[in-house]
Amino acid sequence: MNERAPRRFEVTLELQPGPAPPSRPIEIDPQRMGDSAVLVEAARLEVEAGVSGAGDPVFAVLEKNENGRLGRATVTVDSPGPMAASKRACDCLLPLFSKWSFEWDVPIALGRVSVCDPASGAYSQEFEAPHRLVAVGAEVSATISIRYQALFSIFREGLCSGSAFYSFLCFYKVIKLLERIRGENDDAKPRKSGAHGPRRQWVRIPDDEPFQRPRFRKYIGQRCPYRLVEREFLPARNEIAHEMLEGCEVPMILDRSEVADKYGELSAAARWVARQLTLKEIQFERDIAAATPKE
């Protein structure tokens, strides 16, 4: 069999339910999924997931699981082999899942990937997810901003991780990525004589979890969360780097309850800050676009 000649494969991505609470189900709803969503049946929805190598749209069919939540996605792709088809389908779908995971603040974790040849039905193969964290590429759906694709991907990775230690690092990375985006937006902001142009809108740190914890109570009501980043998140990140690169006489044992509790609190706070800063930056970017004169 000539593996180099493109063939059509049907790739199914099974989604793990993740720790989303019952009050926050990942529902199949055309209005929630975006403008490109089309309801096929009561339990099936078609969405535009990306573009093919030839630049043609790639559509995926989403299906509910037995609990009525988003359970699987099937996409048909042309590829020289099953592994390449699996990777191609993930490259199309995972950026979309990352965008939804950020927008809804729920984990969407990829599980098993199944590949079959629909023409003959004779070939079927299953792979473990070839990758969970998607690198920024040139071929992305028009509904996903290239500037935020890596950010959404890392945020979803943090939500799906079972380790508070690793989740904190993911959310901290999102906050650091935003610094570059903030600088780019500041450079793009139109400036007029005697006018400041669009300004960022801020939210105050709320009086609820995780900020009711003793270490965070002093920040409640403060407007700028970067003080929290500098005083709490940066020292924790430096502690991790010190443990990993330098080593200590008493190493950090992640199974110890005090370490797990510490990074559980830090992860929850960093998750809130990362998401709020991103939402405000996206709005600021839209305000810049609205204020920029059309040529």
Q: pLDDT tens, 144-192?
A: 567 788 899 999 999 888 888 889 999 999 999 998 888 888 887 776 6
Place of tokens 């599980």: 111
pTM of the model: 0.80
Helix (H) or strand (E) holding 41: strand 38-41
Residues 86-130: pLDDT tens digits?
Answer: 888 888 888 888 888 888 888 888 878 888 887 776 566 676 654
User: What CA–CA distance (Å, rounded) separates 146 from 155?
Assistant: 15
User: What CA–CA distance (Å, rounded) separates 71 from 57?
Assistant: 22
| Interacting residues of 192 by C-beta distance below 8 A, sequence separation 6+ | none
Number of helical H runs and strand E runs in the chain: 7, 7
